[in-house]
Amino acid sequence: MISGSANRAGFLPAPIMGMCLALCLAMCAPSASAAASSPDPFAPSSTGLRQIAEIMGRLSKTMGDIPPNIDRIALSQIKVDPKEFSPGISRYIQAQIEEVFRKEGRKTVVTSPELRTFRVVATDSTFKFSNTLPSMEDLWKLGDKLRVDGYIEGSCSKSADNDVILNLKVFRHRTGEIVWSNSFVAGPNEKKPDIWNLDWSASANVTRFPIQEGIVPSAVASDSLGRPKLDTLSNLALTMYGIEGTVSEAVTPDKFLLFSVSLGYGFANGTGGPDSLAVNFNIQMVNFGIEMLGIFFRKSNPDLGYWLGTYVGYKEFVPFNNRGHLSTLTVGYKSRVSRHFTLGGGILFMPLNNKLKGLGADEENRFLTLEPVAYELTYLHYTF
């Protein structure tokens, strides 16, 4: 009896272990499912949709290279291998290209019943795409009818590694002259995908800080102990020449609002004082700031420049070998006169921190109180 009871007790852990194993599998299953349902959003997809989205972002950045006199445009054809893309994906590619030229390139995209770029000819087992305009002569006649300046033509294919390759060109409808062409690749074999849509700029500027009051040692007068006598002057100013690097990103889809972050270095020297001053106001500064730019009176293609924009921002100046820093609020105007160059100017307000005290044996007695308003001019701003 005792032996039988012991044997029965020995079989009890088996079902309990089975239940525990089933419970562990049930708990682990949601984790595996969750991992499978959250792929890398930037990883290539077998359908090519992620690669196409990446390519369209790069295509939008090249719209400024198209000549401005090519304003009215039509899509002639996009050659696609039906073994690589389904009819739905092929039409999606066409729609995305038209949207980029219309929105980002600010082109007038026209169509016509004669331009059925993706017509599907199907049989029981296969299908293919054909264009209803087989000759250039038909395109020329249709171009005159639609009053277009050029046609878009290209091809889209996929490699064995799921790289999507898009080749595009724009040509004049009468002469066949190619005025723009480009190729784009997105997929596992590209070097680096474009995750951030950023603009990088470098600029040179000059900033003038009027001085409300300056207490500085004199070179020609001294006190009874032989120390330089302190002069109080109000006709001084600091003129700073600086360079800056800027990173900008569009806040709105239409690029009417831009947000920027800047970092720079400047060298300021004093002006307006008498020759008897013992201290030359040579102050080195680093600055960093943020800025929001709103664009007005924009040209049809913003990559070719816009007429005028106004900005507001905050900028902090930190001088070397000085006690104190300058906190400024900036307001001004900028004009992008070409695709790469921008001019600008504005006012800096210093409602709080506007005092600098020198450090070191030569300038420890120098004390500057700056005017609450300063002025800046950006005479060279280059966007890469």
User: What confidence category does residue 255 fall into, taking pLDDT thresholds of 50, 70 and 90?
Assistant: confident
pTM attached to this predicted model: 0.54
What is the distance in angstroms between the CA of the first residue and the CA of the last residue of the chain? Answer: 91
pLDDT of 278 reads: 45
The more confidently predicted of residues 348 and 365 is 348
pLDDT of 103 reads: 85
Closest CA to 60 of 255, 245, 190: 255
Tell me how crowded residue 359 is: count the other CB atoms within 10 A of its CB: 14
Q: What is the per-residue pLDDT across 282-308, written as a single tens digit (0 to 9) for each?
A: 788 999 999 999 988 776 666 666 778
User: What confidence category does residue 146 fall into, taking pLDDT thresholds of 50, 70 and 90?
Assistant: confident
pLDDT of 234 reads: 65
Angle at 9 between CA 7 and CA 14, to 5 degrees: 100
In the sheet where 178-186 sits, what is the strand order?
Answer: 108-110, 72-80, 150-158, 164-171, 178-186
How do strand 199-222 and strand 228-233 relate by DSSP bridges? antiparallel
Q: What is the per-residue pLDDT across 43-91, written as a single tens digit (0 to 9) for each?
A: 566 777 888 888 888 888 888 788 888 989 988 888 888 888 888 888 8
Closest CA to 235 of 208, 275, 207, 274: 274
* Rounded-to-integer distance, Cα 88 and Cα 95, Å: 11
Secondary structure letter of residue 227 according to DSSP: P
Q: What is the per-residue pLDDT across 152-196, written as a single tens digit (0 to 9) for each?
A: 989 898 888 888 999 999 999 888 899 999 999 888 877 655 556
The percentage of residues in the chain with a pLDDT greater than 90, rounded to a whole number, is 25
Residue 32 has pLDDT above 50, yes or no: no
